[in-house]
Amino acid sequence: MPEKLTESEVQKGQDPSSVKQWDNDVPLEKKFEDFAAIVDKLGVCMLGTARDGVGPVCRSMAVAKRTGPDFLFLSNADSQKFEELEGKSSIVSLSFQNNSNTDWVSVTGEAVTTSNDDPRIKEIHSKMVSAWFGNLGDGVHTGGPDDPRMKLIEIKATFISYWRTGALGGAGLAMEAVAAAATGTVATPGSLRQLTSEEIEQARSKYSSMSS
């Protein structure tokens, strides 16, 4: 429900929407469960890197596997993104957005790339991945897990924030906004949460699942 704006919030220089939507006082298990539900449903995100002479650059990436708070991607070694991931800064961002109900997740993390002999590639490879590589027909560049072009990108999360829409979903957001605008109150149609580095470490030890 919309909440009244207070004078003290204005005097303190607070962002009323952030303050009133803040809902971080929940158990880690619940915070992680809701985070995982959003990203697993979407499966595709924007991977942001830093490119020399340009600045932040983003591209769409399909998640090959989420393991706890971390993410694994398969990508072509010839992609320009590897120059950025293996360059001056390995700090990246992942952005997930659900346009149907406004859920979003932002992940800051450190990127680690591995060679084709990483055994996890075979674990997470699928035929759909091969579609982005093509098969040269030489028995080597097949688009399969042994293709030398196939590299793994692991994003180890260091900070996570997310927005979870309330029970009424996208329609509720619109109704909430209309009501707030009409009454001078602040729309609060969902929950804003964060996972700190300490909480992420706890989640990593409890929820990560890879055989290697």
Q: Token match 């009454």: residue?
A: 183
Could you list the residue range(s) of the whole structural domain that residue 65 is in?
22-168+191-207
Q: How confident is the model at residue 185 (pLDDT cuts 50, 70, 90)?
A: low
123, part of any domain: yes
42: closest CA among 95, 78, 86, 87?
Answer: 95
Write out pLDDT tens, residues 125-156. Answer: 999 999 999 999 999 999 999 999 999 999 99
Write the DSSP symbol of residue 186: B
pTM: 0.86
- If one counts the domains in the chain, the total is 1
Query: CATH number for the domain including 30?
Result: 2.30.110.10
Cα–Cα distance measured from residue 134 to residue 96, given in angstroms and rounded to the nearest whole number:
27
**pLDDT digit string (tens) for 16-46?**
666 767 788 999 999 999 999 999 999 999 9
Cβ count near 114 (within 10 Å): 14
